[in-house]
């Protein structure tokens, strides 16, 4: 589990306004700079969509089909959920629990995802430390 990447993701999500967050899509209306400060460009993205646009994780981009693609340091490319799993060093269930709309009830806000990430990291560190 890559704690640093998860913590950076949580910190980013705490800055995203709810109106620019949509867990139903990776991204809507791709734009050159969704961080222009206005959030009126029509862009909305899920947690991973914002991470990609922010460039937080080297090698994590959108494929030509608009899904996440992660090119690992060894050069292997992964698409979709596998990209998220490899980029964060988490399992399939954890990826869905954190980043899938199905893992939440009702309208999901960026802070909800940030809180869940923070809890996962905290619990994993405790487990690692105390077994």
Give the tens place of pLDDT for each residue, 107-122. 899 999 999 999 999 9
Q: What is the pLDDT of residue 32?
A: 52
Q: Model's pTM, two decimal places? A: 0.85
Structure tokens at 93: 């269930």
3-state SS track over 54-67: HCCCCCEEECCCCC
Range of the domain at 11: 3-130
Say whether 91 sits in a helix, a strand or coil: coil
Q: Is the pLDDT of residue 33 over 90?
A: no
| Residues 90-105: tens digit of each pLDDT | 999 999 999 998 889 8
**Segment holding 100, helix H or strand E:** none
Where residue 29 falls among pLDDT bands split at 50, 70, 90? Answer: low
* Pairwise CA distance, residues 111 & 78, whole Å: 27
* Pairwise CA distance, residues 90 & 77, whole Å: 16
Q: What is the pLDDT of residue 46?
A: 86
- Structural domain total, the chain: 1
């Amino acid at each position: 589990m890559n704690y640093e990447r998860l913590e950076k993701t949580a910190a980013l999500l705490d800055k995203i306004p709810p109106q620019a967050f949509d867990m139903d899509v990776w991204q809507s209306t791709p734009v050159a700079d969704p961080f222009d400060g206005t959030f009126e460009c029509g862009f909305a993205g899920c947690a991973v969509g914002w991470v990609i646009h922010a460039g937080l994780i080297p090698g994590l981009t959108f494929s030509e089909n608009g899904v996440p693609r992660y090119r690992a340091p060894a050069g292997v490319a992964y698409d979709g959920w596998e990209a998220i799993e490899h980029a964060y060093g988490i399992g399939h269930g954890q990826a869905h629990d954190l980043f899938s709309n199905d893992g939440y009830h009702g309208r999901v806000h960026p802070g909800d995802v940030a809180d869940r990430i923070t809890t996962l990291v905290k619990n994993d560190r405790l487990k690692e430390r105390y077994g």
